[in-house]
Amino acid sequence: QVQLVESGGGLVQAGGSLRLSCAASGRAFSTYLMAWFRQPPGKEREFVAALGWILGNTWYADSVKGRFTVSRDSAENTLYLQMNSLKPDATAVYYCATDTKGTVSVPARSYEYDYWGRGTQVTVSL
């Protein structure tokens, strides 16, 4: 069983920064891909960023390119999301997800991931 625990959320003013973490654990944890999704209030869950665990290749939603950076610490099985120049529309619950079977074909497809964290709230005020 795999557990994902997000942290680092909070309240920040527009233009500020936050760094989210997602710690993965579980017996002999391994993964092919990890990602961040978010769900704004009253809206569907949406893709934010993903990172290929072996090669370190990355994907980003157009709305966050140039402002958000996804990275990893492979030794600690931890995924990060550095969020800069935050806007109020970034207010959401942020979730991390992992693909432990190597079956994700499109990183933005949330239904292809097999484990999810419980999320961390990010609120960006004006």
Q: What's the pLDDT tens digit per position in 64-114?
A: 999 999 999 999 999 999 999 999 999 999 999 999 999 999 999 999 999
The separation between CA 28 and the C-alpha centre of its own chain, rounded to angstroms, equals 21
Any residues with CB less than 8 A from the CB of 52 and at least 6 apart, and which? 32, 33, 58
Give the pLDDT confidence score for residue 91 in this predicted structure.
98
The predicted-structure confidence for 35-53, as pLDDT tens digits, reads as follows 999 999 999 999 999 999 9
Tell me the sheet residues that pair with 97: 35, 116
pLDDT averaged over every residue in the chain:
96
Q: Are 64 and 89 in contact (CB under 8 A)?
A: no
Q: Give the pairing of strands 120-125 and 10-13.
A: parallel
